[in-house]
Amino acid sequence: MADTTQPMGDRQRDEDTGQYTDKYPPAEVTAAIEDLNGTAATSEVADALGADRDTIYKKLTLMQDRGQVTSRKAGGIRVWSISGDQGDAQN
């Protein structure tokens, strides 16, 4: 049986639960948006976190579905802001 604490690619598993850990937790994503004056394009958030743009877009979309962030289109790009109602900030 495989050791669940070992990384699979660059993904890590929680030692207690065996579940994959979140490489970009919502708190880090919202902190990046806050550091960018509270509103930021997807690419700006990705750059701030040292992440792939597509990965962060998917994360932000999930966070929007959970009510943690909001977005709007501006000049052909999606701009993200932290929601007044952060929803479930842990996931």
Reading the block at residue 58, the tokens are: 């998917």
Give the start-to-end residue ranges of the domains of the chain. 26-81
- Among the listed residues 33, 18, 35, the one whose alpha carbon sits nearest the alpha carbon of residue 79: 33
pLDDT tens digits in sequence order for the chain, 91 residues long: 444 444 445 667 767 777 666 789 999 999 999 999 999 999 999 999 999 999 999 999 999 999 999 999 999 999 999 987 554 444 4
Answer yes or no: CATH 3.40.640.10 is held by domain 26-81.
no
- Cβ–Cβ contacts within 10 Å for residue 24, how many? 19
Taking phi first (over 0 means left), then psi (-120 to 50 degrees means alpha), and beta for anything else, what does residue 17 get?
alpha
Ordered strands of the 69-74 beta sheet: 39-41, 77-82, 69-74
The residue with tokens 């690419």 is 43
